[in-house]
Amino acid sequence: MSNRIINFNAGPAVLPVDVLEQAQSELLNFNDTGMSILEISHRSKPYEAVNNEAEANLKELLGLGEDYQVLFVQGGASTQFAMVPLNFLTPRRTADYILTGVWSEKALKEAKLVGQTHIAATTAKDNYRRIPELAEIQLSDNPAYIHITSNNTIFGTQWRELPNFSGNIPLIADMSSDILCRPFDASKFALIYAGAQKNLGPSGVTAVIIRRDLAENNPKTIPTMLRYETHAANHSLYNTPPTFGVYLLNLVLRWIKAQGGLASLEQRNLAKAKLIYDVIDDSHGFYRGHADKSSRSIMNITFRLPNEELEKLFVAESIAAGMAGLKGHRSVGGLRASIYNAMPVDGCRALRDFMKEFCRKHG
């Protein structure tokens, strides 16, 4: 595919070429229906099969059983920021948030609209360069839930070890930008949500993995579409779901299984990230990583150059070299390489070579 460029976009982001080609090959005639997946009813048998397979594949990859359910909803991770407190932050309870970046701040902002909140830890004053140590986390008394963001897309930090808390406090995670990048114990989470457009598929569909007991008896006072129970009881078919998005997401899940699952993806992701971090570390300060080494993300790599002129030049030359999406988010500045599951190792090799050459010319 010589006309494809190397895509470091933060999201929507690169998808596996195999997945795009399969979608292309069956776009006009899905499973001998004589219609596109875009044109069939969400209540039809062929779509029901897609919906069921996507749920089963996601649960299989996460190693989850009958006590969990997968929901496919709309409104992005940003709607989950509100749904979580609407469903679980009941009067006289407190919700605990661990702030590790812009997205966790936004999640907290929605919870504050609903009820009482507590910041259990924050690394804001370190400009979110790091994930807090477990010893820094101060929970409130008997919180309704604890909310974390597993990977901070904008700052390029990630929980290397996902935290454990004692007691039966529901642990909730926004995993939008690192879900399925590595094996982890999903059963310690009460709820996981992820907008698909980083590591799972296209924008427009959000995956919610919820422990079944949390999708029952949600407050009757909140609007129907915002209750987890509604989507759980109807297998994500209460209203018209984002059918094409779920279909594409399922193709991505099949692709992940064909790659050997999460353990092999983790090995590949670690190797990809190392290619770039090694250039940063060996550049004698020409490249400065934003994240502390112990908190570095293997999905989003953030770094600065000696000045903004060089950063602009880096972006311009990278585009000329067939790369896209390397300009950093405005709240960090500099550069960001998003290297999600679908980014091939060769893409990271190309970026490594480009960075070395850029440093040689301008360092």
Ligand X SMILES: *Cc1c(COP(=O)(O)O)cnc(C)c1O
How crowded is the C-beta side of 257, counted as CA atoms within 13 Å?
16
- Least separation in angstroms between residue 344's CB and ligand X is 21
Instruction: Please give the backbone phi and psi of residue 52, each rounded to the nearest 5 degrees, phi first.
Output: -65, -40
Tell me how many degrees the CA angle 197-208-273 measures, rounded to the nearest 5: 45
Contacts of residue 166, defined as CB under 8 A and 6 or more positions apart, other chains included, come to none
Closer to ligand X by Cβ: residue 195 or 242:
195
- Measured between alpha carbons, how far is 284 from 51 in angstroms, rounded to an integer? 51
DSSP-derived 3-state class of residue 114: helix
- Least separation in angstroms between residue 291's CB and ligand X is 15
Closer to ligand X by Cβ: residue 246 or 359:
246
Choice among 96, 159, 174, 178 that is catalytic? 174
Peptide linkage before 12 cis (omega within 30 of 0): yes
- Least separation in angstroms between residue 231's CB and ligand X is 16
- Least separation in angstroms between residue 159's CB and ligand X is 12
Closer to ligand X by Cβ: residue 51 or 149:
149
Closer to ligand X by Cβ: residue 109 or 212:
109
Q: Which residue has the tokens 């190309």?
A: 350
Residue 20's identity, in one-letter code, is L
- Least separation in angstroms between residue 317's CB and ligand X is 27
- Least separation in angstroms between residue 80's CB and ligand X is 8
Name the CA radius of gyration of the chain, rounded.
21
| Residue 59 annotated among the catalytic residues of the structure | no
Structure-token pair, residue 194: 């992820």
Positions that interact with ligand X (CB under 6 A): 11, 76-78, 103, 149, 153, 174, 176-177, 195, 198
Choice among 96, 159, 178, 198 that is catalytic? 198
Closer to ligand X by Cβ: residue 85 or 195:
195
- Measured between alpha carbons, how far is 113 from 81 in angstroms, rounded to an integer? 11
Closer to ligand X by Cβ: residue 81 or 88:
81
Handedness of CA 9, 249, 272, 126 (dihedral sign): positive
| Residue 109 annotated among the catalytic residues of the structure | no
Contacts of residue 93, defined as CB under 8 A and 6 or more positions apart, other chains included, come to 115, 116, 142, 143, 144
- Measured between alpha carbons, how far is 315 from 240 in angstroms, rounded to an integer? 41
Q: Which residue has the tokens 């550049």?
A: 283
| Residue 257 annotated among the catalytic residues of the structure | no
Structure-token pair, residue 332: 């960090």
Instruction: Please give the backbone phi and psi of residue 310, each rounded to the nearest 5 degrees, phi first.
Output: -65, -35
Active site residues: 103, 174, 198
